[in-house]
């Protein structure tokens, strides 16, 4: 029997309790503990671990006494801690010997005497289930009169509405990625928390509905139910009902005019139907039904119009409604569009993302094979025009297939922007600042594999913008700005990249302060002449910050090196534009897909390498006078009046080159994050889109190399990493 899983659940609860910052259990955390105890009780009952079941039930009642009845909190805290330790010991007994040889009677007796907890207590959820079932079917059993402390109810209302907000945010993400278990869990947890706290407060209607929705999600999580658009609609309807029920509690608590009880019978019936039948079939709604739902006509008017439409000569329902003035052409047109949308939606299918990735990989292999055929010397020597035309046609088809398959994996950046908007709302609320979010280009598409990768860098920039970019309302007014600041999120395509801009109209970067800090830290000399852009980029160095006050959110510059590293990992580039007193804009550019790179193929000796074109500034064949050698070692090239270090690739990779003199070879001016260098190569072979191949675990950490690609002749070329090459050159 799986006692180890039981012990794991108890350990999770013990861990949560151990890391409490203060010795008190507030409502949200109490709800979490209650849910965990309920889960432990159910599993213990299934496994026959009777002592665990009794003890978990008693601890549930202890929590209720402490939270709702004001029992001595310190004493309750101590007893709860001892109870968890005892739970772990009992679970250990079952794990090791299938039984517990000790006794829990002493602790149970102490609970009964000291706090009035019954020795055979059941979890709160189990106790409230029976009375709730006897309530009038479909009616909301709010239970407000049973809550003694209004402050607890206020806390629940605030927390509950925030939980619903989390659900609404993640349900939209789930709709985009129905197989993503993380999104299902992110929706499951808020329902779980609402249910737990509602149990404490005897809000039976809310608890029951949250429990039903939680059960539905649990089945989806365990793949007993498919995540379909119909299921998404059902969960959204359920969260809307919960929001309305919590809103009614708030209205009653604030003394507003009482609203009617919220009928949950229909949503409960639909949930039960979904649980039993799996997928929910959904027939396109008829025109009349849509018009009734939108309040254009009522049921009686619909029936009368249907009857009159059958009178010869028969007419369509829409014609009857318009001709008799019961509905406007605009109303009917809108309803017809909605009806057509239902039919359109039924013509789409969901495809497992792994299958899609496999397809794109195979298309990449096809492109490589086609390139190998095109460059085959044997075929070229044949001189057959028909073969040349056929190969050209094959190249055209494979190129189009590659473009089409890449587009399949693209999704709008809208969901990422929505998450950023929620983050700004929370940060501004906590900091007391007024911040508005403006989004542009939400429909811009990005490779779904990049969505999670770009999330953390964007979060860092948003947190910095709110915490240290934005001023307090009174400071903005003094500066002649609107008291509410604006953070603008903008996305657009440029060339083969997606560009994401995050701009704020805050205080901007103080370049003088940045220079002073850089000089103080020994990063630059006081005599160094830097452009504004170079000064801005100093904040991307590790640990660099000009923040005078450390906050729990961020400091502008703190963590910006993390942002830079994340952007580089995605083969992206970052630019910072700022005007002091006006605001700052972070511009990040990423390749549209992680599967393909636009590269320049170069030759060094007998080897060929691929350089990302995004990092190439120019190609030059320098004059002999442009070459300088300092103390016999440090070599530089004069590029348009600027001395750039020379990096010899043949030295880094121990290859015999065709040319050692820079004026006889070709130099590639490569641009890194904070420096530029010239790479010495023998020859430029051409520009080509290549499919990136992973080098495997044993080779993935080689400095200066970011991957590999199969070239047209079937050989492998290494894709070079400019920053890694620069570090290798500086270390030699």
Q: Please name which of 673, 569, 680 lies closest in space to residue 615, comparing C-alpha atoms.
A: 673
pLDDT given for residue 729 in this prediction: 82
Domain-embedded: residue 456 = yes
Confidence of residue 544 (pLDDT cuts 50, 70, 90): low
Could you give the CA distance from residue 456 to residue 560 in angstroms, rounded to a whole number? 11
Whether 180 and 106 map to the same domain: the answer is no
The answer to whether the peptide bond before residue 414 is cis (omega within 30 degrees of 0) is no
Confidence of residue 125 (pLDDT cuts 50, 70, 90): very low
pLDDT given for residue 585 in this prediction: 92
CB neighbourhood size of 257 (10 A): 6
SS3 category, 241: helix
SS3 category, 348: coil
Out of 222, 247, 277, a domain closes at 277
Q: Is the pLDDT of residue 546 over 60?
A: no
Whether 239 and 96 map to the same domain: the answer is no
Domain-embedded: residue 483 = yes
CATH code where residue 19 lies: 1.20.120
Q: Are strands 497-504 and 410-412 parallel, antiparallel or unpaired?
A: unpaired
Whether 566 and 654 map to the same domain: the answer is no
Domain-embedded: residue 137 = no
Could you give the CA distance from residue 526 to residue 614 in angstroms, rounded to a whole number? 32
Whether 611 and 566 map to the same domain: the answer is no
Domain-embedded: residue 128 = no
Q: Please name which of 141, 135, 83, 91 lies closest in space to residue 112, comparing C-alpha atoms.
A: 83
pLDDT given for residue 548 in this prediction: 52
- With residue 667 as reference, give the H or E element that holds it: strand 666-671
Domain-embedded: residue 69 = yes
CATH code where residue 150 lies: 1.20.120.160
Domain-embedded: residue 139 = no
Out of 277, 295, 321, a domain closes at 277
What distance lies between CA 325 and its chain's CA centroid? 49
Whether 436 and 568 map to the same domain: the answer is yes
The answer to whether the peptide bond before residue 542 is cis (omega within 30 degrees of 0) is no
Pick the more confident residue, 80 or 604.
Answer: 604
Q: Which domain holds residue 339?
A: 287-345
Confidence of residue 559 (pLDDT cuts 50, 70, 90): low
Phi, psi of 493 (to 5 degrees): -95, 140
Q: Is the pLDDT of residue 504 over 50?
A: yes
Instruction: Report the range out of 61-75, 99-113, 460-474, 696-710 with the highest average pLDDT.
Output: 460-474
Write the DSSP symbol of residue 573.
E
Whether 521 and 438 map to the same domain: the answer is yes
> 488 and 501 in contact (C-beta within 8 Å)?
yes
Domain-embedded: residue 643 = yes
Write the DSSP symbol of residue 451.
H
Over the range 622-661, which residues count as b (16 or more CB within 10 Å of their CB) and which as e?
Answer: beeebbeeeeeeebbbebeeeebebbbbbebbebebebee
pLDDT given for residue 662 in this prediction: 86
Average of per-residue pLDDT across 224-240: 82
Whether 522 and 535 map to the same domain: the answer is yes
CATH code where residue 483 lies: 3.30.565.10
Whether 149 and 225 map to the same domain: the answer is yes
Out of 122, 152, 183, a domain closes at 122
Whether 472 and 586 map to the same domain: the answer is yes
> 83 and 55 in contact (C-beta within 8 Å)?
yes
Whether 291 and 360 map to the same domain: the answer is no
Instruction: Give every CB contact of residue 221 below 8 A, 6+ residues apart in sequence.
Output: 181, 184, 185, 188
pLDDT given for residue 111 in this prediction: 74
Confidence of residue 503 (pLDDT cuts 50, 70, 90): very high
What is the total count of domains within the chain? 6
Whether 664 and 712 map to the same domain: the answer is yes
Could you give the CA distance from residue 660 to residue 669 in angstroms, rounded to a whole number? 17
| Diameter over CA atoms, the chain | 104
Whether 533 and 611 map to the same domain: the answer is no
Domain-embedded: residue 618 = yes
Could you give the CA distance from residue 419 to residue 173 in angstroms, rounded to a whole number? 9
CATH code where residue 690 lies: 2.40.50.180
């Amino acid at each position: 029997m799986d006692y180890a899983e039981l012990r794991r659940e108890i350990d999770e609860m013990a861990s949560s309790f151990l890391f409490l910052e203060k010795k008190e259990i507030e409502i949200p955390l109490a709800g979490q503990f209650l849910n965990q105890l309920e889960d432990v009780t159910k599993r213990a009952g299934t496994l026959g671990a009777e002592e665990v079941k009794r003890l978990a039930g008693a601890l549930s009642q202890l929590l209720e006494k402490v939270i709702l009845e004001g029992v001595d909190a310190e004493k309750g805290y101590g007893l709860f801690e001892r109870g968890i330790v005892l739970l772990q010991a009992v679970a250990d007994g079952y794990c090791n010997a299938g039984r517990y040889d000790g006794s829990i009677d002493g602790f149970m007796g102490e609970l009964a005497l000291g706090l009035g907890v019954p020795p055979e207590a059941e979890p709160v959820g189990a106790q409230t289930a029976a009375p709730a079932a006897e309530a009038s079917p479909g009616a909301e059993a709010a239970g407000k009169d049973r809550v003694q402390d209004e402050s607890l109810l206020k806390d629940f209302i605030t927390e509950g509405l925030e939980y619903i907000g989390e659900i609404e945010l993640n349900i939209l993400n789930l709709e985009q990625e129905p197989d993503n278990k993380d999104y299902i869990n992110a929706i499951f947890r808020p329902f779980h928390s609402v249910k737990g706290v509602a149990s404490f407060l005897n809000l039976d209607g809310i608890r029951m509905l949250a429990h039903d929705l939680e059960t539905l999600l649990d089945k989806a999580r365990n793949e007993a139910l498919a995540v379909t658009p119909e299921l998404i609609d059902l969960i959204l309807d359920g969260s809307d009902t919960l929001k309305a029920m919590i809103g009614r509690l708030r209205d009653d608590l604030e003394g507003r005019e009482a609203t009617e009880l919220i009928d949950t019978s229909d949503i409960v019936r639909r949930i039960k139907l979904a649980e039993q039948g799996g997928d929910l079939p959904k027939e396109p709604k008829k025109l009349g039904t849509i018009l009734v739902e939108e309040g254009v006509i009522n049921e009686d008017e619909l029936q009368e119009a249907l009857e009159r439409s059958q009178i010869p000569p028969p007419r369509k329902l829409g014609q009857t409604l318009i001709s008799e003035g019961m509905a406007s052409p605009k109303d009917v047109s809108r309803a017809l569009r909605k009806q057509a949308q239902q039919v359109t939606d039924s013509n789409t299918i969901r495809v497992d993302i792994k299958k899609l990735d496999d397809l794109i990989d195979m298309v990449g292999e096809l492109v490589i094979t086609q390139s190998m055929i095109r460059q085959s010397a044997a075929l070229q020597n044949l001189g057959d025009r028909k073969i040349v035309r056929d190969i050209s046609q094959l190249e055209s088809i494979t190129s189009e297939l590659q473009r089409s398959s890449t587009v399949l994996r693209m999704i709008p950046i809208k969901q990422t922007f929505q998450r950023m908007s929620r983050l700004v709302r929370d940060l501004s609320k906590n900091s007391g600042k007024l911040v508005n979010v403006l989004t542009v280009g939400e429909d811009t598409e990005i490779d779904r594999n990049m969505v999670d990768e770009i999330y953390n860098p964007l979060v860092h920039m948003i947190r910095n913008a709110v915490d240290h970019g934005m001023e307090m309302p009174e400071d903005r007014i003094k500066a002649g700005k609107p008291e509410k600041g604006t953070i603008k999120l903008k996305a657009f395509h440029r060339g083969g990249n997606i560009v994401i801009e995050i701009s704020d109209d805050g205080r901007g970067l103080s370049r003088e302060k940045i220079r002073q800090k850089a000089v103080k830290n020994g990063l630059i000399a006081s005599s160094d002449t830097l452009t504004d852009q170079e000064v801005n980029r100093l904040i991307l160095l590790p640990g660099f910050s000009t923040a005078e006050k450390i906050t729990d959110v961020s400091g502008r510059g703190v963590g910006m090196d993390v942002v830079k590293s994340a952007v580089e990992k995605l083969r992206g580039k970052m630019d910072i534009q700022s005007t002091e007193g006006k605001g700052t804009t972070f511009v990040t550019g990423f390749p549209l897909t992680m599967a393909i790179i636009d590269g320049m193929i170069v030759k060094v000796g007998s080897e060929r390498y691929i350089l990302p074109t995004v990092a190439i500034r120019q190609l030059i064949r320098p004059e002999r006078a442009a070459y300088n050698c300092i103390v016999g070692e440090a070599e530089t090239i004069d590029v348009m009046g600027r001395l750039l270090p020379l990096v010899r690739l043949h030295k880094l990779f121990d290859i015999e080159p065709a040319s050692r003199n820079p004026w006889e070879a070709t130099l590639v001016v490569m641009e890194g994050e904070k420096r530029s260098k010239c790479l010495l190569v023998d020859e430029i072979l051409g520009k080509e889109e290549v499919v990136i191949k992973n080098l495997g675990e044993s080779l993935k950490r080689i400095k200066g190399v970011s991957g590999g690609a199969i070239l047209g002749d079937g050989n492998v070329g290494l894709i070079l990493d400019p920053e890694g090459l620069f570090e290798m050159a500086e270390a030699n």
